[in-house]
A and B are shown apart, each in its own frame.
Chain A
Amino acid sequence: MSILHWAILTPFLAAIFIPFLFRYIKKAHTGWFVLLVPIALFVYFISFLSDTSDGNAITKTVDWVPSLGVQFTAYVDGLSLLFALLISGIGALVVLYSIFYLDKSKEQLNQFYVYLLMFMGAMFGIVLSDNLIVLYIFWELTSLASALLISYWYKRDKSIYGAQKSMLITVFGGFSMLAGFCLLYGIADTFSIRELIAQADLISSSTMFVPAMILILLGAFTKSAQFPFHIWLPDAMEAPTPVSAYLHSATMVKAGIYLVARMTPIFGGSWEWFWIITIVGLITLCWGSISAVRQKDLKGILAFSTISQLGMIMALLGIGSASYFYDSDQSTAYFAVATVAGIFHLLNHATFKGGLFMAAGIIDHETGTRDIRKLGGLMSIMPVTFTISLIGLAAMAGLPPFNGFISKEMFFTGTLRVTELSEVGSLGMLIPIFAWIASIFTFLYCLIMFVRTFFGTYKPDEHEQKAHEAPIGMLISPLILVSLVIIIGLFPGLVAKPLIQPAVTAILPTLATNSEFAVKLSMFHGWNLELFMTIGVAIGAIALFLLSKKWGELALYKRERDPLNTLYDRGLDGLISGSQVITRAQMTGLLRDYFSYMCVFIVGIVAYTAFRSDAFLFSINESAPVPFYMWMLTIVFILATISTLFVKKRMTLVIVVGFVGFLMALLFVVFRAPDLALTQLLVETVSVLLFMLAFYHLPELPKETAKTPVKVRNILISAGVGAMVTLIGISSFIMGSNSGLTSISEYFIENSKELGGGYNMVNVILVDFRGLDTILEGLVLAIAALSVIAMIKLRFKGGEDV
């Protein structure tokens, strides 16, 4: 393991200590210790800057499951470094902010910071791993951590609802993404992104190309809240504000963007990729910005604005992939402008949206409300927050001299250039028009948020607390972020060369050797169409704002919640009622029924498979001679088993069943399996003990009252199971002796001492050869134990249902 691997794992390792710090160091806020982690990581990742800005990449590999092609390969290039710096940088600011936001005496800080660190580590894992399976594991970890953070205030129904929603949608996407990865593995026989890119030609000629692409994009779209999967993001706003600022604007939702950018060298250059991403991104952009106007909650506005901005970055990545259609340096560089704009906006969005979320959190914290109908006149009361919001909102609306203006202009440039693609046709004109309309709405909601919060009359009666300016600690983080907004806006060259260019060349590798390409960012481009479009946006939005009395009466405007939510809620209801129908049919409460289901299923599937592969062989000639005592043992065994059917008394039944179990142990001894015999003996002892414990409480044995058809059915099932097992035993024996294959046990007999260092083969298999199975079995047992506790100790009261 290299230092790089350790860096990725640092947040996880730090998370282990958080509960102890929280419990034993009461005086200091736990957040101060947590703060060290992202700061240290940020400093560490800065050190890669000189390497990646030269276009180099660092790769470090540790084998994980080499036989399946799963390696923990850490890979740092321009793109992953940009994300890693965002995650650690914004992470540090968010932790600093949370120290003042979350009260150390009232909140369960240990849980909060454990989840947050888990999330941070998972994000590093996503952006820094080259292996798709490792990436997938970290990807699902972010879903898990974010669901835990959303439901942090778990006593509120809305938090649980939001967490469940985000989990359902993002995990659905994650699964389909995993399927896409497996398809890619099927085509190119590797999970490494580097090697996949090297085989891009092979992949694009495969019939599985488009299915794999769509499956992977589903994962990216659900994570990045693209239409129509965006509905989870507004509900995720139930999380504490530091979480919203971190997960839902700066990092987690950008994982989807990262994935699309990462996959562009594999899938880019196909029209499907170009169109799907561009169209989905544009729809999300428009829908998000229009929906944001309808919101009355500050965080609601910001949530929809995040959705729309993510759509914009997504669309830009789609448009930028057009540069793959050309060979000449000039045209490639010409279309790459969109990708530059996308990556640049990604950075800008993290700075201004992070600051805005923190400002919204301050307003919520100091006034007790986030409803814009109750807010107003805060400009003179909270001057610093006002300044922060002013800068953040202006950058988001795309006004100079802030960084949002530059990326907004470049966004217009990108959309205008698409129309020049000959294959796009005349309908391509719609792309800049849609972009322009969406920008008007973006400007409009920024204006609404700004005016309604800070101007107008101050309404102290509506607030839970007397409003005042936030403490200085809470203001540090957003102030740093908005100063970045200004610095990047005024001196964009600071980030252009070291950060943006390497990231863009990672997405479009051909640019690395392209003499025409250079990232140039500047505030003023001359009096061109883009500038006039921006002026038009401002005029249009202000006009709409002044007319807000008129369209404020529209029915659609009054509906705060997204209409698509109805679809989701209905689907969820259907899922619940559907599964209840199945559960009622299956879970009858009778152990016998469960056994019947299981037996019928197993017998059916095994018999079908055996018949299809013609595996039944029946002959008793070749079997070994059976000694006399084996006959006796078998007969006693059979007699004891059959007699259980006729025993009427429970005590006798326990003894007879125990007898059968001990006979079984004896059989194991005869067949030289002492470990199994020991286990069987112990299990039998424990179960008899358990029986004794429960004996007093058990009712008398009921009389058998089953009707004849039921009896016949039961007899058929048991006879079927018996016949099946016998047949399989005989067939496999004959198969083994006919085929001449050596038994697998030979391998273990020969190697258990050599490779495992032990003479007891069974034990060596358990702890060594198949150790993973053992761990996972332990995990299954642990889950079973927890559910027993849950069922018995936390039992639901009468009538309550899950």
Chain B
Amino acid sequence: MNKSNDILLHYLTRITVFFVFIFSIYLFFAGHNQPGGGFIGGLMTACTFLLLFLNFDREKIKKALPFAFTSFIAIGLLLALGTGAWSMLFNGDPFLTHYFDYFDLPFLGETELTSALPFDLGIYFIVVGIAVTITLAIAEDDQ
């Protein structure tokens, strides 16, 4: 969080952040069939944000990433609860019934689409929001 002039560190961070971020997205999507998922992907994404905040000027990062991380939590909860309620509201099934089926999509070929995905996306958002919010709250204290 301190202002640092370490050029090497800055460059390294700039490069790694993208790799870590892309890997976290991969982890998120891989989750259904391989290790990964919303929780792990979210943690990893949070790591990229933290890495940025750790190495760069805080104000600059806030300008580059103008997100209110607290609202991530709300978005995530709404997504997860909304997916859960969807089955009840529109299909008359019990709360949190999930659906999946295979579709033929352009470019991707036969793809499995599940309603667990938006649910997991909610978890992802919650985790990112919480990890970044708590860390920033602690780090910005006393400054």
Contacts and interface: CB of A to CB of B under 8 A. Distances in A.
Same assembly: yes
Q: Which of B43, B74, B95, B141: most chain A Cβ within 10 A?
A: B95
Contacts of A66: 94
For the complex of A and B, the 10 pairs showing the least CB-CB separation, nearest first, are A757-B100, A758-B32, A674-B35, A759-B33, A682-B43, A767-B116, A763-B37, A778-B126, A785-B130, A63-B94
A693 B37 contact: no
B137 A760 contact: no
Interface in B14-49: 27, 31-40, 43-44, 46-47
A764 interface: yes
A793 B138 CA distance: 9
Contact of A64 (B80, B90, B94): B94
Interface in B87-140: 88-90, 92-96, 98, 100, 112, 114, 116, 119-120, 122-123, 126-127, 129-131, 133-135, 137-139
Contacts of B89: 1, 9
A738 to B, nearest CB: 33
A682 B38 CA distance: 13
A678 B70 contact: no
Contacts of A683: 43
Given A766-B39, A767-B37, A785-B129, A686 B46 contact: yes
Given A759-B34, A785-B130, 6 more contacts: A66-B94, A675-B37, A685-B47, A767-B119, A772-B96, A774-B80
Interface string B37-72: 111100110110011001000000000000000100
Contacts of B39: 679, 766
Contact of A789 (B33, B70, B77, B93): B70
Q: How many residues of B sit at the interface, in one of the four size bands?
A: 35 or more
A757 B120 CA distance: 14
Contacts of A633: none
B36 A763 contact: yes
Contacts of A779: 77
Given A757-B112, A782-B126, A682 B40 contact: yes
B81 interface: yes
Given A693-B1, A767-B116, A785 B73 contact: yes
A62 interface: yes
A480 interface: no
A449 B73 CA distance: 52
Given A689-B47, A760-B31, A766-B37, A789 B135 contact: no
A683 B40 CA distance: 9
A757 B93 CA distance: 18
Q: Which of A66, A686, A692, A756: most chain B Cβ within 10 A?
A: A686
A678 B40 CA distance: 7
Contacts of B96: 771-772, 775
B140 to A, nearest CB: 8
Contacts of B95: 64-65, 772
14 contacts: A1-B90, A678-B40, A686-B47, A689-B54, A693-B1, A756-B100, A757-B100, A757-B112, A760-B33, A763-B31, A764-B32, A771-B98, A775-B81, A789-B133
B6 interface: no
Contacts of B126: 778, 781-782
B135 A675 contact: no
A690 interface: yes
Nearest to A790: B137
Interface string A726-769: 00000000000000000000000000000011111011101110
A674 B80 CA distance: 24
B33 to A, nearest CB: 4
B57 to A, nearest CB: 15
Query: Secondary structure at chain B's binding surface: helix, strand, loop or mixed?
Result: helix
Nearest to B50: A689
Contacts of B127: 781
B123 A767 contact: yes
A707 B49 CA distance: 45
A784 B126 CA distance: 12
B137 A690 contact: no
B115 to A, nearest CB: 9
A792 interface: yes
Contacts of A756: 98, 100, 116
B47 A679 contact: no
A788 interface: yes
Q: Which of B33, B44, B93, B133: most chain A Cβ within 10 A?
A: B33
Interface in A63-97: 63-66, 72
Q: Which of B37, B88, B100, B119: most chain A Cβ within 10 A?
A: B37
A685 B77 CA distance: 25
B37 to A, nearest CB: 4
Nearest to A770: B96
Contacts of B129: 782, 785
Contacts of A677: 35
Given A775-B80, A784-B130, A788-B137, A758 B33 contact: yes
A697 interface: yes
B40 to A, nearest CB: 5
Nearest to A795: B141
Contact of B137 (A1, A782, A789): A789
A792 B137 CA distance: 7
Nearest to A696: B2
A4 B89 CA distance: 12
Contacts of A3: none
Nearest to B37: A763
Contacts of A63: 88, 92-94
A760 B94 contact: no
A64 B33 CA distance: 28
B36 to A, nearest CB: 7
Given A674-B35, A778-B77, A793 B40 contact: no
Nearest to B33: A759
Contacts of B142: 697
Nearest to A67: B94
B89 to A, nearest CB: 6
Contacts of B116: 756-758, 764, 767-768, 771
B138 A785 contact: no
